[in-house]
Amino acid sequence: GNESGYGPNHDALAGWIRGYDPTRPLHYEGTVSRNHGQSWEDGKLSSDITCPMYPTIAEIVDYANDPHATRPLIMCEYAHSMGNSTGNLKEYWEAIESHHGLQGGYIWDWVDQGLRKTDENGVDYWAYGGDFGDEINDKNFCINGLIWPDRTPHPAMYECKKIFQPVKLTAVDLAAGQLTITNKYDFSDLNHLVATWEIMADGIIIEQGDLMLPATPAGQTMDLAVPVKLDALPPAAETFLTVRLKLAQETAWAAAGHEVAWAQFALPITAEAWPMIPINEAAALALQEDGAACVVTGEKFRLVLDKAAGRLTSFVYEGTELIAAGPALNVWRAPADNDGFKDPLPSWPMQLLPQWLEAGLNDLVFETESVTAELVEPHMVRLTVQSFVHGRAQSHGFKHTQRYTVYDSGDVWLENTVEADKKLPSLPRVGINWSMPAGFEQVTWFGRGPHENYSDRKEGAAVGLYDGTVAGQYVPYIMPQENGNK
């Protein structure tokens, strides 16, 4: 159990249980809860396991390295999966698998416990505390799962699947196609799996085939050879080897072809840098500047920068307007549940969200300090904007420099330098935000996907060339929040 305090009554209960059934280990989080004044070495009478709640990675590693620690450690709760969350799971498991005595943990929790309701417009939605006329409720704190109430997976579930997969592939010598395969099953060999490999260059699959898997007994590691010939591959900026293991036959729980494990490796190929910007020697640029704007005109395009706003207001290429709102500094995103989205509690001041709001990160003021325009050469114009950006009614903020290099081809290279005041809190996001006109709905990207992923939750998203719609990137978390990052 957990979250029920700790006292001599728990020790007495544990004593009765041990006398009634001495074969079972006991687990009770309260014995090591620092909220109740306990240490991780306390409570041995009531718990055979050190079972902290939401420890940091550093804390569990310190415990594993403590020569006085005598009990295995299993986190009774970790990786709080409320809404868009479950970050750093890879780092937790790197620590667990590399330190003796760390045995894992229980993600809180499995399923969003919402109930289907229908609103006044006939639209179904998932309801939670307060949606039933109940005035005493816990609001959306029953919406903590890795899957939605209808059992479809959140994007975080793909991260769990990858990290918990029962087969591990490790690179030994990629240039020679040498890997090792580790069977993490406790009892089964790998005869129920089939393997394939593919090589992808800049998002395009250029070679693929089947692999002969060694049987690999449970708990064992064996060599695995992949027919990679680097000298036969075409030059590319990024080349990846991907190996996939799938069920050979249908089982009671999945169809034949279900992917059980996969791994992806960047191949050590050095390609000559390709020219990024084509130069049109026949078409010189025209730069016009007055007190209101800088206008750059080329053979196929026209670009306008508003000097007062310090932003692009128009970029027409071959007759099509590409900008609805020009590039601007963005340090905000919709808060997620774990940022402190729930109604204020005693811990509210310690959450990130109130710090962001106090700093005004959601309501920025842009002050243009200078705009310069330079015809560097007939085929290149450079526009530089210096700005001070701060939260409304706040004096500390960001020094922001935008440097546009405009080429006669119509390509624009934008460099941003952002210097944040040290008084600011940890930032939710740092980037550039701009909008395109309605109608630009298709999106293609080379990167991780196809599902939502973040810098701290990307292990389960393979690098590839993906496409979709802008609307299709939306993830319908029950409590609306930040979503859809790639």
Catalytic residues: 3, 77
Structure tokens at 112: 């969003």
Q: How, if at all, do strands 301-306 and 311-317 pair?
A: antiparallel
Structure tokens at 63: 């415990």
Name which of 435, 436, 441, 466 is nearest 452 in CA terms: 466
Cβ count near 448 (within 10 Å)? 20
Helix (H, G, I), strand (E, B) or coil at 256: coil
CA distance 467 to 444: 4
Strands (E), 108-177: 115-118, 124-127, 167-173
CA distance 238 to 265: 11
CA distance 262 to 167: 8
Structure tokens at 421: 């005041």
Q: How, if at all, do strands 167-173 and 178-183 pair?
A: antiparallel
CA distance 371 to 386: 6
